[in-house]
């Protein structure tokens, strides 16, 4: 997958919103094939980044301690 996306689940600290957004952006770039979308696709691209970031926040918040890394 995207090697530049780092693991955001850590024992001692919570991922920041900036880290979550950066990971979401890398994911959407990889899936869409766009580093920077055209104006015609900018709105849907940004909406996808927002959705992936929110899903990631929910996931990180819901994970229970004790799972494998």
pLDDT tens profile 9-68? 888 888 999 999 999 999 999 999 999 999 999 999 999 999 999 999 999 999 887 766
Angle at CA of residue 53, ends 26 and 31, nearest 5°: 35
Percent helix / strand / coil, the chain, rounded to 5: 60, 0, 40
* Full-model pTM: 0.84
Residue 64: both structure tokens together = 């229970």
């Amino acid at each position: 997958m995207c090697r530049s996306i780092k693991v955001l689940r850590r024992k001692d600290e919570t991922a920041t919103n900036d880290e979550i957004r950066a990971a979401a952006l890398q994911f959407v770039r990889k899936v869409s094939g766009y580093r920077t979308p055209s104006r015609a696709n900018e709105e849907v691209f940004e909406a996808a980044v927002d959705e992936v970031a929110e899903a990631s926040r929910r996931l990180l918040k819901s994970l229970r301690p004790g799972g494998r890394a």
